[in-house]
Structure formats: structure tokens, C-alpha cells
Structure 1
Amino acid sequence: MKNQIKIILNIILYIIFIQLSTVLPKNDRNLNASIKTAEMLAKRGDSDNAISIYLGLNKKYPNNIAIIRSLKTLYKKNNKYQEGITFFQSQLKHEPKKAQSYIDLGEFYFLNDQIDESKKIWNDGVKRFNSKSFYRNLFSIFSRYNLDKDIGKLLLSGRTKFGNSFLTYEAGSFYQSRQTYDKAMDEYIAHLLHNKNRENLIQRRISRMSDDDDANNIILSKLLLISEKEPKIFLSLLADFYFQQQNYKEAFDTYRSWHKIGKWDQRKWLSFANNLRREGQYLVAVDTYNYFLKNSKNSNNTGRALLGLAKTFEDQVIPINKNNLIPYFFDENVFFKDSFTETTSISPVHLENSLSIYDSLLFSLPRSPLLAEAYFRLGEIQYNILQDFDGAQSLLKKALESNPNKNLELKIIEKIIDVNIAQGKLIQASEFLVRKINPNNKSVLNKKKILISLLNADIDSAKNIIQIELKTITPNDTYFNDLIELNDFLKQYTEKNEPNQATGFKHFLNAEFLIRQRKITEAISELGHILDKYPETSIVPLSTLRQALLLKKIQQYETALKLSLELENTWLADKSIILSGQIYELHLKDKEKAISRYMKILNEHKTSIYAEPIRYHIREIQTLTVK
């Protein structure tokens, strides 16, 4: 059945072919139909009939480039080189001024191993058509067939006629594809010498070339040599190459050399600084931002550099709980989360110098959202890293006065409240909040209202606001879970109407207030006071865990360990065991005791939600020990 269908289709195609070969199309619709038929025949492998249709069409439409291109493709694909020669000879005879026919006829001579004839017809074309386009087309043919000597002669002839920059980019690409990197670099350098606005294009080509390790020494030597002769053009290219090779200090020094000879490209400097930051090269990034800020005259770019510098500081922040195996306390709850930076890799000298430049430049910028964000970032650095609360307060107020957008304005307001709390000024924080709260930001600022009430030990007010909030927000709100957790927390520790319970809980909240003021030692003492004076209150296990975590934070590991061991018979047993294991593992460097502690979770607290993570961690320790 299939064979019968095939035979029928072939008969239909043959009838169409016969009709088309005897009666040529009379309009474009017939022309398109004929071309589609020829394409169908070519796809089916019937190249002879396809060629016959195209030849018939060519007689009717001799200037139709698509028909000529299709014939050329079919002749080459089916190795019909002699037929191709005959066709393009007829094309030249019919229209001797058609330059492309010289190129195509020469190519078929070449493919047919008639080398002398190919060179003769190409040379005739060069003499007849003294144009750049003919040279470019001929260069494409020579490149395709790797005719190195002919390329050399063509480039020499072309540059004599059209100038030394002629075909430099094309020649560079050709030599690069042949891995002849020294010649490729010579061509790219020549191209850039005559086309100074093509630096990005050449930089991308060199970047690809450097993927081959064999090319790197050649690239470097060529760039160093030309940079001495033409520093204004090539030093930035050399700097970019150093950056790509991860020689960041050399890249920075080269950019400075470029500036010293009078070249200053703010866009390139800012891009360079941002890229250093993304690569984690913070010291060089800070130096680059500072250099830019000292020399930039554009206020908009200065603002961008200030933000980049702030981000560089922020990127170096390492949170204290980074290595915690589990969330021991309410680590991610907004009402308990510690916003201060514990450790950073920022050099104090770099930070001091940079902040001095940063602060002085802010006064030169016009009021704008960019300036507002710059003040805000600097205020955050003063608050989070340096704990300079007065300085942070001043900068954040300037941010608020600098026309911030709505989202940034809300962030600034929240941060000013945090700084007031850190300064121990709960009344000022509350008054500021009342002045700034409105229907648009009420849902966000109400959480600050709850926090202030808690830290002020105004439990009833906090509870009332929580209940109002729970009626208005949905589970999709960002702090819904935090609010539920806080609500349960307050119910657990404030429902018993006993004086000691209430007093103990207030001491706990006061400790949280002291933590917010960065008074860690005083907070530890306050939590210890609960254990000493109110040992029977329900808050004791949680306050003891909080005390142990703070002691660990200030590196009093033995005392922290002692407290964590005292919690084994409480509802926090699993957390206290894991904490003791982590102290042994990371701080006292006793892996055997650490594993022993972790094993208690698997043996005695199998239902703990932390059992599986601890099982996995034990395997990790044992694997590392074996290695």
C-alpha cells in the first residue's frame, strides 16, 4: 500500500514538472509555486529535476538572486562542479558586469581542482571591480577554504587601495579561528588603531581568545607592547584583560595609569568597580570606588558609586548564626531577630577612609531618591556594623529629608525606630511612629508598635494590637507567622496571674531590650537574675537558653556549655543537647564529645524534629574525620 502511494506521488510530481518545464510561470504566484515544487524535489533527493526547474526559471527570471543561489547550492551539494562552471560561464556571458558571478565561477573552478582557472577568474574580477565589497566577498571564499597565501596577497592589495584598516577585523577573526593568535592580535590591534569606537567588540574577541590558555601569553605581550606606544587607546583593554585573568590589582593599577595620561571614562570605572564587588574582590573594589569618588564630576554617577561602596560593605557581613545547626531561639522572628552584624571581613582602615569620603560627598549631591538611598545605606552601615547609633540617626534623618520613594521612605522610618530603640529611647520611638503612621504604612508600622510595647513591658497593649492585626492580615502577609508565634509566646508566659511569673517575664523582656541596645553583658546579667531570683517561673528554661546563646556569642564557651547542660531535663532538652554538641565541635574542638552529645538526640529524643538533620550532621563529621 505504501509503495503504491509513493508511486502515485511520484507520478503527480512528474506531471507537475513536465508542465512547468514546458510552460513557464506567467506571474509571481506561478513563480512561487514553481520554486516550492523545486524545493520539494530537492528535499526528496531528486536534484536533477529540481535543477531543471531552476534552470527553466532562470531563463525567465535571469536576475532573480534566490534562483541563482538555489542552483549554486544544489550544484555544490551534489558535487556537480562542471555543471556549476557551465552555468556561471553562461551567467557571465549574459551579464559580464555581475561581480558575484566572478566569485562563484572561481569557486566552482576551485572545487573542480582547476586551480589556475579559479585564480585567473578571481584576478580578473579584482581588476574589473575595484570595490571593497568584491574584496570582502573574495576574502570570505579564501577564508572558507583556508587559502592563507591568497589571503595575505588579498589583504596587501586591498590595504594598498583602501587603507591599512581594511579587513582587519575579518582577518583577525580568521586567524583566531585558525589559532594563529599572534596574527589575530596584530589584526585586532590594527583594527582598533583605526576604529577607536570598536573597543568593546575587540575586547569580546580577545576575551574569547583567552579561553585557550595557549593564547594568554601572546595576548598579554601584544597588549603590553602596544600600550607603551598607544596608551590612551589600549591601557583600558589591557586592564580588562588583567581583570579577566583575575589579576585584579594589576587591573586597578592599569586603570589608574590610563587616568593619569588624561583618559577618564566614568562608565568603565563604575562598571569595573561593580564587577570587582561581584567577584568578591572587596579590598580592590573599595579602592576603586574611592578612586572614582575622588575624581568623578557627575553627581548621578557619584550616587551610584556611593551605593556600590555601601553594597561592598554589606556583602562582607557574616551573620553570627551562619553556623548554627538549628534555630535555637526565635532566630527569624522579626520581634526577636538580632539585626546587628557580628563579624565582618572589612578592614577598619578601609572602612574609616571610605566612610569619610562617602560622608563628605553626600553634601555635594542634589536631593533625589539616589541621594536618599545613599544616606540610608550609610546609616545602615553605621547602625549594623559600627553600632554608631547617633551617627546612624543623623544620616537616616537626612535620608528621610532627601525625597525618597515610598518603599525607601518606609524602610527609613522602620530603621529610625530601630535606632531609637538601640539608643534606649522608647518614648521617642513611639512618638516618631505616631507622627509617621498612616493608612498606607499602618500594617508595616504596627509591628514596630507591638515591638515597642513589648520592650516597654506593656504586655496588654501588645496583646491588643496583636489581636487587631490578626483580624486584618492574612496568612500571605510577610509577618503573619511571626505574629502567630509571638501571640502563642505571650499566652504561654502571661496567662498565669502570679506576681513572680509576671516579674520574671518582665526581666526577660528587659533583657531583650538590652540586647537591642547592644548591651550584651547587661542582658546576660538580667537573664541570670531570673534564674537566681525566680527559679520556679516558667520563663526560666527559655531565659537560660537565651543566656547560653549570648555567652556563646561573646565567646564564653565554658559557661555557655554549663548552662546548656542544665537544660537537659526541660522542654528544651533537644535544643540544649545540640547546642552543647555544637560548642564542643566548633569552639572547644572536641569532636568525640560533640558526636556523643549529638547521639543523645538519636537515642533519647527520636521524635525531635531535629533528629534527621543531626543524623546527617553526624555522618558529615565522621566522613571528614575519616578523610
Structure 2
Amino acid sequence: MINRNNYNVIKLIKISLIVFVCGIHLTAQQSWKSPEVIKRELDTKYRLAIQFEQQGQIDRALDIYQYLFDQDPTNANYYSRYTYRLFELKKYDRLEQVISSYLGNKPKDETALTDLGKLYFSRGDTVLAEQHWEKYWKASNYSQFFTQSLFNCLISLRQYDRAENVITLAREHFGREDLFAIELANFQMMRGKYIKSVQEYLIYGRQNHRNYQYVSNQILRFPNDSSLFIQIDSLVQLEILQTKDVPDLYELRADLLFRFKHYNAAIEQTMIVESLRNNTGNAVLDLATDLLSVGEFTFAEQLYTTIIKKPEFRAAVPKALLGLADAFEKEMLAEQNYSPFDYFYRDNFFFVPEYIYGVSASDYYIGRAFSIYDSVIVNLPKSTYTAKALYRLAELRFRILHDIDGAERFYTDALKSGLDNETRDQCIVRQADLLIARGELKELQPYIRKNIVKYSGRTIEKPLALRYLLGLYYQGELDSLLIYSNDLLGLLGVNDPYFNDVIELQNFTEQFLISGDSDNRNAVRDYLKSELLIRQSKLSEAREVLIYLLENYKDTEIAMPARYRLLQLELFFNDREQSEMTLNFMLSGSSQFADDALYMMGDLAHFRDGDAHYAAWWYQILLEQYPNSFMKDEIRKRLRSMHTTPQNTQEL
């Protein structure tokens, strides 16, 4: 019996030992992590610290950097970010510990050796710092890495003359005048020593001709000073004389001349660039595009015409033809900048129609553009240029002439060409706009849904989704609008230019369209009808609908924006008497659009109608009644420049 009991005890002890050993082994397995896992965790914390820095949460970032450095005191990234912040916060005791620890693992690390000298200097011991730097710089045989590290260190300490001297000594040691040219060029630009900066940039350009593009970008950041331009241009011309047949250098001078509005000289230099690059036409086409972008239409048109006429540019002729037509379009549009509809939720896709008003088919510029596009279609059939020309013709029909049927024919033909994906996408989106312009809202939704499914994940999805939301707005499907708009915000993302447009539509819907009694709901239907009519360019009908709405539902929520819309329509028809009466009613109440309306009245009178006296009257009222308006500074500036006394008009 005793033996059996002993056996059971021994057995129990063995089982307990096995369980204990297994537990230890399991615990060890659970706590052990592979080096790869640890590295991923540390990298995640490192990225988090950088995010905290970007958000201005320096203390939180510093705590993470301290943890990271303690975990891996040999990591250069952790060391660099940690010491940078410690220097910034002047935590010199901790810096000494960190630098010493890092050098203990990497005694020859040139960054840390430079930092140690920086620590001495920051504590006030400049002699020790200079002795330290000189000792280790010499020991490195004036290595370029140590030189650059020391140069940047001295700049961070605002020791600019010492920093420049470091580069001078390095150049003398290696016998190379081009050493650290880009660093010294950027350094001199930072100090405002622009001529010295240009000299170094040109040295950098000689090292590799591809560097001249960077050089050009940097020089164009210099102050817009005519005397400085003359000095810089002289240096560039001298460089051209000393360096034969380098197209990038001529291109640099062309950029400089363009920036200072010497357009003829810029064209001349660009022609030299073309001759040195076998007349590809790329440089001269880019220059023509730049001229268009700054509103120099005559220069652009002349340059496009030159490209078309010169046989050596025959490969660039199709693009030049399209560019010339585009120049005529832009010159025409430049004279049509002021539309009353632009002031209602400015630049918002949902409230501002895309039409251009006041241009007839007999307009000189539109006639020239039409003839060029027709020429491209006839002479370059079945090409990407054909698709682009057809699309542009459709745009002119749609936006300028408001010819919906004519536009549809050209959009359809451009789609059939099937050679240009970008043009195809634009045409698909525009056909949705045509359905809206016809008022065919029932056909709009299935058309958009079909194409969103077909092109899901592509750039075309967003503009189609915007038009789907616009269709819900015009149909008065307000609950669906709010739900769909939230989904659309997720699709767009906060950086999309249309993101704020959707937010404004949501706010407008909640403030004016959903709230209120049955009268407001009836008024909303009329209001949305008028909005659709404006999008259809049926402005007289829209005006009548709004007049009816304000006569029958003047006390509803929607009456406020409706009256502002009516004012815009009256201004469109140049009915000053009715415009003043409508604005007078807005000013007598508490309309949130009143200061915008006053600004619009003055702005249109000033710039569209050329009537400074009438404009000044409205500007004065705006300043008197809305002294805190965000537009007040601009209005005061305009009034000072007018030197005019506002004419009398009706009492407001």
C-alpha cells in the first residue's frame, strides 16, 4: 500500500514537472519576437514620431525618439531625428549622452563627430569646437561627406562665413573649383547673394547639361528685379559664349527672358534650342503654351503660325493647329470673364453653370477656331488629333453657342474615333451634361450608373458621380442626395477640388431645402425647377419661375437664395431698375447673401459695364452696411484707385 502511494506521488511530481516545463517553454515562445517583427514595430513608431512632428506635437515625438534610440542606439535615422530635436530644445546634457553612446558604437561616424563639435559650440566653447572639427576633418582626409556635414552644421549655427570658408578650403585641397557647387549656390541664394548664387549654379550646370533644368527652376525663384535680371542675363550669355552648342543653356536663357517678359528674345532663344535638337518642336510648343498661360495671346498665335509655316516643324504642325485654335478660344473667353452667375457659391460645380454668355457664332475668334478644327478633321482623319478637334468643336457648340443637338453630334463622333482615352472619358461625361441640359433626368441616372460600373476605379468615376448627385438635386430627391453625397465625399477625398463643393451643397440643402412647412416644400420645387432651367440656359423661363415663387412664397426659407438668383438674372438682362428693387428688398431684411449681392453689383458695373461711378455707389454701401465684410480691404483699394464720386441713385 505504501509502495503504491509512493508510486502515485512520484507520478504526480513527474506530471507537475512536465506541466511546469511546458509552461516555461510556452511563455518563452509567446514573449520571443523575431528580429523582423521587432524592426517593423520600431519602424512603425518612427513613422508615428514623424507624424507627431508634422502636427507640431514635438514632446510626443521626442519621447518616441528616445525610446527608439534606447532600443537601437546604432540606427542612424533614430539618432539623426533625436539629436536634431535635442539641439532644437537645447537639451545639451542629454545630447552629450546620446552622441557619446552613438560614437561608442560607431567611433568614426562623421555625422556624430560633427555633432560633437556642434555641442561644444552650442555650449559656448567655440575654440574647442573648432579644434575638434579641424582634427577630425583632417583625419578624414577632408572627405566630401565630412565637409558637407560640417558645412550644413555651420549653417545651422548661423556661422555663414565659416561655412563658406569650409567649401573654399575643400576646393583648394582637392583642386576642384566645381566641388559642392549646388550646395554653395543654394546657400548663396538663401543669403540673398544672387549673383554669386548664379555663378555657382552655372558651375553646377557644366557638370551635367541635364542640371540646367534645375538651375532654371532655381533662378526663376529670384526676386523680380530688372537690374538683377541684367546682371544674371550677362552671366548666362557669357556662359553660352564659353560653352558651345548646349541647348539646355539656351533654354535656361529663354526661361529667364520669358520670366522678365522679353518675349521676342525668348522666342529667338527657343528657336536656337530647336535647331540644336533637330527641330522636334517640343520646346517651341511649350513656349507657346506658356505664352497662352500668361494671357499673351498675340505672341502665342504668332508663334503657332510660325510653327505651321516652317517646313522643319512639320511633325509639330497638328499640335500647333490645335494650339492655335485654343489660343483663339482663350482670347475670346478672356473678354467674357464676368457673369452674374459666378457670384452664387463661387466656382461651385452645383451652382455655377458652365456656359459662356454673350458670344455669337459670328464672333471673329470663334470663327477662326471653328475653321482650324474643321481643317484638322479633314486633313488628319482617323487620328488622335481628329478626336481632340471633334471634342473642341463640341465644347464650342455646348458652352459657347448653347447648341445642345450640334454638340451631341460632335461628342458622338469624337467617341467613335476611339483613339484617345482622355477624350473618350471627357465625351462620356459631357453626354451626361447634355442629358441635364435637355432636362432628361430620368435617363440620366441609368446612364451614369452604367458607366460608373463600366469604368469603376478610373478617373472618370468621380465626374460622373458628381453629375449623379446633381441629378438628385434637380429632381428634389433630397434624402437620397444627403446619403449619396456622404458616399461621394469618401470617393473624392479631402484634397479633391470638388470636396468643398459637395460640402456646400449639403449645407445648402439642409438650410434651405429640407426644413420648413408645406409652403416651403412647394417653393423648393419651384426653386429647383428654376435651377434646372438655368443649367439648360433657359434664363427667361427661370426668371419667370422665380418671380412667381417670390410672389407666392415670399416668407419661406428658400425665398432668400431665390431672390439672390433673381437678382443675378436681372443683372444678366441688364435691367438696372429691377436689379435695384430686388437688392433693396434684400437689404431691408436679413439676407445672408446681401453683402455678396452688393459686391456683385459693384463688380459687374465696374468691370463688365465699365461704369466706375455706378460701381463706386455700391462699394460705398457695402462698406457702410457691412464694415466687417471679408471683402472690405479689396473694396477700399478699388475706391482709392477710382478717384471718383459715386453718382446718386435711388435711396436704399
TM-score in terms of structure 1 length: 0.52
1:515 to 528, 534, 545: 534
Comparing 283-292 and 484-493, the one that deviates more: 283-292
State the distance in 1 between where 2:309 and 2:407 align: 23
Once the two structures are superposed, residues 399-451 of structure 1 have per-residue CA deviations (whole angstroms, 9 ceiling, x without a partner) of: 33334665554333222222332244434444432332222244442221111
Once the two structures are superposed, residues 196-216 of structure 1 have per-residue CA deviations (whole angstroms, 9 ceiling, x without a partner) of: xx79899999999x99xxxxx
Are the counterparts in 2 of residues 372 and 402 from structure 1 also a CA contact under 8 Å? yes
State the distance in 1 between where 2:343 and 2:280 align: 51
SS at match of 2:528: helix
Query: Does residue 1:617 correspond to 2:635, yes or no?
Result: yes
SS at match of 1:437: helix
Are the counterparts in 2 of residues 507 and 526 from structure 1 also a CA contact under 8 Å? yes
Tell me what 2:590 maps to.
570
Are the counterparts in 2 of residues 504 and 537 from structure 1 also a CA contact under 8 Å? yes
Residues 396 and 350 (structure 1), Cα distance of their counterparts in 2 relative to 1, 3 Å cut: same
User: Which letter does structure 2 place at the counterpart of 1:561?
Assistant: E
State the distance in 2 between where 1:383 and 1:461 align: 29
Are the counterparts in 1 of residues 304 and 323 from structure 2 also a CA contact under 8 Å? yes
SS at match of 2:532: helix
Tell me what 1:390 maps to.
405
Tell me what 1:311 maps to.
326
Query: Does residue 1:359 correspond to 2:374, yes or no?
Result: yes
1:520-531 superposed matches below 5 A? 520-531=539-550
Unaligned runs of 5+ in 2: 1-127, 129-140, 142-174, 176-233, 272-278, 646-652
Are the counterparts in 1 of residues 512 and 558 from structure 2 also a CA contact under 8 Å? yes
Are the counterparts in 2 of residues 318 and 341 from structure 1 also a CA contact under 8 Å? no
Tell me what 1:338 maps to.
353
Tell me what 1:152 maps to.
none
Once the two structures are superposed, residues 295-338 of structure 1 have per-residue CA deviations (whole angstroms, 9 ceiling, x without a partner) of: 989996343124313431343223866598x9741222211122
Unaligned runs of 5+ in 1: 6-32, 34-69, 71-176, 178-183, 189-194, 212-240, 253-263
Residues 516 and 383 (structure 1), Cα distance of their counterparts in 2 relative to 1, 3 Å cut: same
Tell me what 2:172 maps to.
none
TM-score in terms of structure 2 length: 0.50
Q: CA deviation at 1:546?
A: 0.9
Q: CA deviation at 1:278?
A: 5.7
State the distance in 2 between where 1:437 and 1:527 align: 35
Residues 201 and 430 (structure 1), Cα distance of their counterparts in 2 relative to 1, 3 Å cut: closer
Query: Does residue 1:596 correspond to 2:611, yes or no?
Result: no
User: What fraction of aligned residue pairs are identical, expressed as a percent?
Assistant: 23
Residues 363 and 392 (structure 1), Cα distance of their counterparts in 2 relative to 1, 3 Å cut: same
1:58-77 superposed matches below 5 A? none
Q: CA deviation at 1:524?
A: 1.6
Residues 327 and 283 (structure 1), Cα distance of their counterparts in 2 relative to 1, 3 Å cut: closer
1:99-498 superposed matches below 5 A? 243-244=264-265, 277=292, 280-283=295-298, 285-286=300-301, 289=304, 301-316=316-331, 317-318=333-334, 328-342=343-357, 348-365=363-380, 367=382, 369-403=384-418, 407-438=422-453, 439-440=456-457, 441-470=460-489, 474-496=493-515, 498=517
User: Which letter does structure 2 place at the counterpart of 1:483?
Assistant: V
User: Which letter does structure 2 place at the counterpart of 1:559?
Assistant: Q
State the distance in 1 between where 2:490 and 2:338 align: 35
Query: Number of residue pairs matched?
Result: 414
State the distance in 2 between where 1:355 and 1:397 align: 17
Are the counterparts in 2 of residues 545 and 576 from structure 1 also a CA contact under 8 Å? yes
State the distance in 2 between where 1:488 and 1:323 align: 24
User: Which letter does structure 1 place at the counterpart of 2:393?
Assistant: L
State the distance in 1 between where 2:510 and 2:431 align: 30
Q: CA deviation at 1:584?
A: 6.3
SS at match of 1:448: helix
User: Which letter does structure 1 place at the counterpart of 2:622?
Assistant: Y
State the distance in 1 between where 2:249 and 2:500 align: 54
Q: CA deviation at 1:243?
A: 3.5
1:557 to 576, 589, 595: 576
Residues 309 and 398 (structure 1), Cα distance of their counterparts in 2 relative to 1, 3 Å cut: farther
Q: CA deviation at 1:509?
A: 1.2
State the distance in 2 between where 1:295 and 1:322 align: 38
Residues 618 and 281 (structure 1), Cα distance of their counterparts in 2 relative to 1, 3 Å cut: closer
Tell me what 2:114 maps to.
none
Give the alignment's Cα RMSD to 1 decimal. 5.6
State the distance in 2 between where 1:509 and 1:272 align: 46
User: Which letter does structure 1 place at the counterpart of 2:512?
Assistant: Y
State the distance in 2 between where 1:308 and 1:567 align: 46
Are the counterparts in 1 of residues 436 and 535 from structure 2 also a CA contact under 8 Å? yes
State the distance in 2 between where 1:444 and 1:418 align: 10
SS at match of 1:571: coil
